[in-house]
Amino acid sequence: MKGKSFTLLAVIIILISMLSTAAINGLNLGGMNIKSVSDGMKLGLDIEGGVAVVFEAETDQTGDELEKTINQTISVLTRRINVLGLTEPNISKQGTNRIRVELPGVANAEEAIEMIGTTAQLNFMLVENGSFAQQGMTTADFKGEVILNGEDVNGAELGADQYNKPAVLLKFNSSGVDKFADATRRAAQYRGQIAIVLDGKVISAPSVNEQITKGTAIITGNFTEEAADNLAKLIRGGALPVNLKEVQTTVIGPTLGRDALNSSINAAKIGLILVCIFMIGYYRVPGLASVISLILYASLVSYIMVLLNATLTLPGIAGIVLGIGMAVDANVIIFERIKEEIRNGKSIRAANVSGFSRAFRTIIDSNITTLIAAIVLFYFGEGPIKGFAVTLMIGIVSSMFTAVVLTRTILKIFNNLGFLQNKKLFGA
């Protein structure tokens, strides 16, 4: 019996040691390479640095109509940022008509803001017979009618014109093909123009010699390769339902964020060490079992955040530290119940069973109420508050597992090995 218990204890300690080592330094087992948590963790704006910008929708809409427009705008912004290849954004609604966009790790804040906030409202206009359009004009400078818009475009990519100059290649969807074919048929009758207008400004106005039925077009102009590529990306990202006005911009340098991260991690380490010293000093051998559980807790929380692709923020670190306190609190409740059973004359083995059973309901109740609060924070909170709520929820679930399952298992093993035969080892 003792041999099996000792083997089980050794396996638990080895596995926890490997997991914690992998979390800190990574681990290479044969062909399997496990990244460290620092390499796999997605960092928030307040740690990695970057830009946060708040946009306000310029619209007279209210109520459900405004909410629908804001949600559509957030969807377009998300697609646009993904198309631009920027870092994973955090886009959330503020109030009723504002949107907050956080871009961790973005180096050129001004360029990013310009790209994501551009309305990119693309229209194709059939220039009337007798009127004339050219690049640089606005829609007020010529007469014409809108024949199709950006919603009729199925794809846009960087290409080249017949002179090998940068251009944007367009492909229309099924509705766009018919509209463009009809417009080019009409334009060809008088050698007219199709003006390509972006945000009310003509960027190209080619003449039409014949009907185009293949569903493709090309935007030419005095483009640089970068400008043509950006235009293609904006068209692919889609047009925003409303104009956005930049009302607040915050730029955080990576140095400030990293310093804050290091300070927070050091504080968490000191707190964990002090808690471990207290638990071992006050609860003796059971305290040692709780320390082993705490090491697993810290590793579990870190890897769960990586697996869920959660963003680590400074408030999130505070949530992790709070979770450590909750995990210890569960152990304290259990150990005090066990001590109470021992004082009532029960054997140590019976006290362990009874103590865990009596403490379980209290632990469940306290953790569920905290979990409800965390869910409310996540649902209604924004930015860093969501980061705090996420780590708190992960910490609650992890602490319940380590406190109730692992600590109980280790105490049972200690009992089988004869480590807990003396009541003084419980501080009783």
Burial class of residue 123 in the structure, from the number of CB atoms within 10 Å of its CB (0-12 exposed, 13-18 middle, 19+ buried) = buried
195: domain CATH number is 3.30.1360.200
Q: What is the CATH number of the domain that holds 58?
A: 3.30.70.3400
Residues 271 and 394 reside in one and the same domain: yes
419 and 319 fall within a common domain: yes
266 plus 287 within the same structural domain: yes
Count: domains in the chain: 3
Is there a domain that residue 394 lies in?
yes
Question: How far apart, in whole angstroms, are the C-alpha atoms of residue 97 and residue 119?
Answer: 16
* pTM, rounded to two decimals: 0.60
337 and 272 co-located in one domain = yes
Could you tell me if 196 and 160 lie in one domain?
Answer: yes
DSSP class per residue in 260-323: HHHHHHHHHHHHHHHHHHHHHHHHHHHHHHHHHHHHHHHHHHHHHHHHTTPEE-HHHHHHHHHH
Give the end of a domain, one of 252, 276, 294: 252
The verdict on 153 and 82 lying in the same domain is no
Backbone region of residue 329 per phi and psi (left: phi > 0; alpha: psi in -120 to 50; beta: other values): alpha
Do 267 and 416 belong to one domain? yes
On whether residue 41 sits in a domain, the answer given is no
The answer to whether residue 332 sits within a structural domain is yes
Which residues does 427 contact at the CB level (< 8 Å), separation at least 6?
Answer: 282, 283, 284, 339
Q: Is residue 43 part of a domain?
A: no
Domain residue limits at 300: 2-36+253-426
Do 225 and 212 lie in one domain? The reply is yes
Q: Is residue 53 packed enough to be buried (19+ CB in 10 Å), middle (13-18) or exposed (0-12)?
A: buried
Q: In this structure, is residue 353 part of a structural domain?
A: yes
Structural domain contains residue 45 = no
- Give the pLDDT score at 142: 92
Regions of the chain short of the pLDDT cut 70: 1, 27-34, 38, 79-80, 82-88, 106-121, 199, 234-239, 253-258, 382-383, 419-428
CATH number at residue 402: 1.20.1640.10
Residues 99 and 247 in one domain: yes
The verdict on 397 and 267 lying in the same domain is: yes
**Residue 212 included in any domain:** yes
Q: Which two tokens stand for residue 360?
A: 């379980």
- The verdict on 404 and 351 lying in the same domain is yes
Please report, for the chain, how many H helices and E strands are present, in that order. Answer: 12, 15
What is residue 102's predicted lDDT score, i.e. its pLDDT?
A: 80
Residues 271 and 296 grouped into a single domain: yes
Residue 197 lies in a domain: yes
pLDDT value at residue 32: 63
